[in-house]
Each structure stands twice: as C-alpha cells, then as structure tokens.
Structure 1
C-alpha cells in the first residue's frame, strides 16, 4: 500500500527572509527584496540587480572549518536542514539513521566557489597556464555536486538514501518529488529534502545577459520582477534555499508531530522541444498538472490556490496561463494564482522548494501571498493573479508548478491534513 508523506519541518533562507517567520512576513506584506547586486561590481552587465540573501555563516552557527570547506550554496542547505530538523521536533538520538535520507536539488551547485577558484588560478583570466599549487584543497568538493547532499546528511545524521537532483529550475520540486517516492515506496521513513542555489556570480549573470532573459530595469530593482504584468521584461536572478523534513504519516503521528501539509501528488514532464523555448499551448505543464492532481485523487475544482512559476518573462507567463486553462478548465478563471518571484526573485534550482515553503505556510495561515508589482496585467494573462495584496481565504489544497530550461515542467499538490477529501 502506498504510504502518505507529510511535511513536519521547514527551514528557509531567502532574500529578505533570514528565517521562516521573516520570509512569510515579507511575502504577506507584498514587499520585494530585490536590489542592486553588491557581491561584485555589476556595472558591466545588462542586468545589475538580484535577490541577495543577508547571510552570515558564522552567526548561523557554522564553524570556521565548515565555512572554508563548503560552497555558499552548501552552507545555505546545511543551515536550512538544521532549522527544518529542529522545527520538526525529531530527536536524532532516537531515530533510525538508515531510514533517514537526503534529497537535495540545485541547478548550478558550487558555481560561486568554482568561479572564485578560476579567478585565483588564472589571475582573473589573464593567465592561460596556471599553477596548481594555488588550487584550493577543497576543489573536489566544489566540482562534485554530490558532496552537497552528503554535507546535509552529515549535519542531520542521515545514513539512508542520499541523492542530488539537478533539473535546472525545477530541481526544487523534483528533489521533493524524489524524496516523496522514497518514503511512499517504503525505502525511508524520514527524508530531509529541498534545494539550494547561489548563482549571483559574474559568469551566471553574463550567461543570462547573453540571452536577454533577465530584467534590465536597474533603476528600480525592487519593482523589476513583474510576473504577468504587461511591462515585464525578464526575471530577476536570486539566491536562496529551503529544506524540509518529510515523514511517513504514521511515523509523524506516533510522535505527535505538527504537520504543515501532506504532499499528495507530484509529476514531471519534458517538452522535448527547445533548450529555452516554450510552446505557447502549455501542453507539457498541463500534463504534469493533470498527473499530480490525479495522484491526489481530487478534481481540478478542489484546488484553492496555485503557486505559479511566474518568472516574469513574456513567453513563460503566457505558456503557464495556457497550461492552467488547459488543465484546470473553467476553474482556472476562479482560483487565485500568484508568483512569489515578484518578491524573492528567481533562485534557479532553489526556487521550487522556496515556493513549496510558501505553499505550506499558505495552508497553515490560510492566506494567499500576492503577486507584487502587478499593476497592468498582460491581456493574454487574464486569470486572477492576486495583485499587490495578500488575500485571506480558505486554503486546503495548493498546486505549485515549475518550468525550467531544457523543457522541464513539474507540478506538486499539497493538502491540509484533515481537509476536505483528505
């Protein structure tokens, strides 16, 4: 029999949110945390803005050795995992390490450290021949993405299945989906799962500049991310992480754990079409949505809120709108939809997990976060995108979707435990 999976712990680091409480307060206030890039001089670049996290690894409890060894993205993941484990109330001493695993998502992994090491070795690109003696002793950790979930496993004492999931911008959803399946099939009882990315580096900024995917609205960074708005002109790059403790339902009940939500459905599809392009009909995303809803054994009309990918590019927002209409039918015009990327930016592989955190909190607080900066909706984006102001309402069932380069399209359904049809 398929086992049920619930969220019992959450840890978040996002632009404007140093913890879960700050993250949720910022979202419900409709406040954007994007700003001019401060990590390096952004003046040579077309897009000079990003969603940066205020993160002090020492203040977060990481040792000097951990800070030196781990890339910034790994640091985010470990800190969030520790928070999630603490939030869940799990006692590591009473658990079964072999039944606890880790599933971590990331799109660009240790990009921050890799670029830093290249700049040191090459004297900022001036030298073709490099002296290996200047190489960091931790270079292997940066080159091998699998080291990152291993760091999380060491931090929480997990000795079960440990995996890295890298599917571009759907990595955060796909890592959670992988973890759910391990619990559902009986391989694990507890999974520490989520995603992390810290892509605010010159090379990543340059890559998105080259294809004009990011917004050049540098004079007003807090208003640059405008999903579904007629004046939108690209997404805002960001960093961040979110980690969860996922448990088999009976395992959580036996210890009296608080449950944020149950993950009842997950599906992913690929469009096999184009590395960055999307078909306007949204068929692949619609198929993922239908499959996730089908697993949940609900009707489309049962969805109370849709957390959109909502990147703020013209093709994505239109593609997504079409997918909602195709999969939800007439209910697409009634259900509230919003994009938190309008406030926290697009943290690539991490954003799917950060958005799931927002979904779980929406269920807990019965509040739909808004789409900030939405003043003039694109006529082709004609759904209820909850402009500017959070909305209090019944939220029992939430659909969260993601879309990524390579053609990845993923969907996940979360439900309030004890809600209608639970």
Structure 2
C-alpha cells in the first residue's frame, strides 16, 4: 500500500483501523476521533452561522416511508432492510425524508421560509465487498446533510449563500478553488417533465447569479432533481466531488410538504438538498492524502508536543503544557527516556506540527524553544509562544488570506470569481 494512501497515513498516525468483523465500517482511535470531532464542530459552527437549525432523525424507519419518497425503488439493493412481524423497516441511506417529516409536523407559513435544517446523519448503505475502499467507500458513514425549504424566488439567494460557504470552508481546510458542474435530469427519474424544466431553469439561473460557470453533466442529476456539484483538487492533482446542492420539487410533493402562501392558499415549498463535505469519513480520507498526514495546525489532534531536555525540567514542562491547554491548545507531554532529537523526529512523524523543548535556560527564563516540522526554530517567552500558537489555532488563519467574502454573498477567490 502506498505510504500516501489514507489507510497507511491513518495507521501511522494512529487514527483508525478497519477489520473483517466490521466490513465497510471504521474503528476510530482517540486521535482519529479527535480529528473527526474537530471537523464536525467546525462544520456545525459554519452551518449555525449560515442560519441552519440542527436536528436529528431516526436511524430506522418504516419501509413505507422509503416507498413513499421513492428511495425504496431507487436504492432497494443498497438498503439494509429488517422485518418486524408484518412490518418492514430500513436503516436510512440518507436523511432527506426524515427532514420532511420535521417540516410537516407544524403548520408552516410563507413567513417561516426559508427554513433550514442540518444534521450529521449516520447513514448505512450496502456496498458490495469488492467496492469497499478504506474511508473512501464504506457501508456506515456520516453525512453533513442539510435541507432548505423555501420559495422559488428564494432559491438564488440560498444557492449564493451555499457557494460562499463552500469557498470559505474549502480554503480553511487548505484546498485550492473548487470546480463546479451542473448535473441535469437522468434517464430514470421521478416527477413530471414540467417540474424538471422548472427545476433546471431555477438552478441554472441561481448558479449564474452566484458567479458560477459550471460544466454541464447531462443525465447526472439525482432521481428527484438537478444538482450543482463541487469538486476539490488535491495536492496530487486528483479531483474529488464533495459539495453538492440539489433542487427538488418531487419529495415535497410525494411527502405532502406544504405552507400557507401570501394569499392564504396552500403551496409546495422548494426543497434544496445540500452537503458541504458529503461523507465525513470520505472527506477525512481526502484531507489526509491531500496533506499527506501533515494536517494544518488547527486540525492536528495534538498541536504541540512538550518535552524537557532532562528530568530536572519535568516540572517546568508540565507548567508549559498547562499554559498551552489553558489557552485552548491541544498539548501533550513526552517524558520518555529517548534523546531529544529522537523525540522531535517522532513527534513530527506522528503528525504533531510543533515541538516545544525546555531545558535549563528555558526554565530559568520562563521560555520555550519551538521547533516546526519544516525545520523553523524560535526561542520565545512562554506567554508569547502561547499567543502565537493560539493565533494559528483559528481555521481562518490560512483560509482568510485566500477568500474574500463580498457584501453580496458571492465568493471571490484570489484570481477571479468562483
């Protein structure tokens, strides 16, 4: 296996493993789950800023709901189905029907729209064993599922908001500007031709208004509607489709979603399906391979490894760790018997971006000697070291230099429009 394969990196950094007893599933180790939670909390914060309300929907739902939505027909071979007497249930392969149920639970008015829901939805899909590939293709995964219920005249604003969100998120994870594609009606689809005509026109116009010039992908849309897809290019030049926003007239119709319009009548909302990362597991694989395990400072499970030069400085090394942790930095302490040079190499091989050595001079001066994985070194007073590293701990430390967010909500990359 290639050393730059995410499975090799995951093993080297002690992030996760997979085994035969759980095919297509992941055993997350402490460091891996720390990375997972950092990504999840980051996305949660961005979604909250974008006006989304987080919800949670059941894992196991009656097959009748999946039949009503059309997923039972489209994904029958990929669904895990269970029998309970005369009723049949299925683990959810996606979260959208559940979000419609939350929308339908209350009387809705045009004043409530747009209504935005987000969920870290744990999904299960039966993938053939030969198709499984580390974190890239699994049977159990979590999607950053989000759905917007809105009117047709709100679609353009929501798409522009999403494009701006993607620009910020991908830049902060260290990726260059994305490429966009417009996927239109597939041969096998639900809904009327009139619905598809309207959906494609709305989404196409919204893409242009957001400053996109997407590549056309005829026949690649979802079974319920057209979609915009956003692909990242990694450091090896490979393209990965991650983000998507899809326009849907079909599910609101099939599942009876409606709201009171301005005239007091009943109307169907437009449903926008969106995901920033897609599968979090798959995104972590892409991220690990893109950075070859050298994650940005803000994402490293441990950001600073502290070690005394000899045992006499161990008490001061503990004070240094405490000072970093008090500032919200993730610090670890190496009191092992190895020589300092070996500790520095081991920490950087383990993905820790900064090594803080403390000897007699540092202890006497209340300082630390910082060593970066690129070879850079600096001896700083402890308070200054804490301040500098705390600044780097913000996701925007690198990303904000690459993306400008104009007042109109569209995204401008360094070098041109998205």
Larger Rg over CA atoms: 2
Normalising by structure 2, report the TM-score: 0.27
Higher relative contact order (CA 8 A, sep 6+): 1
Q: Which has the higher strand share?
A: 2
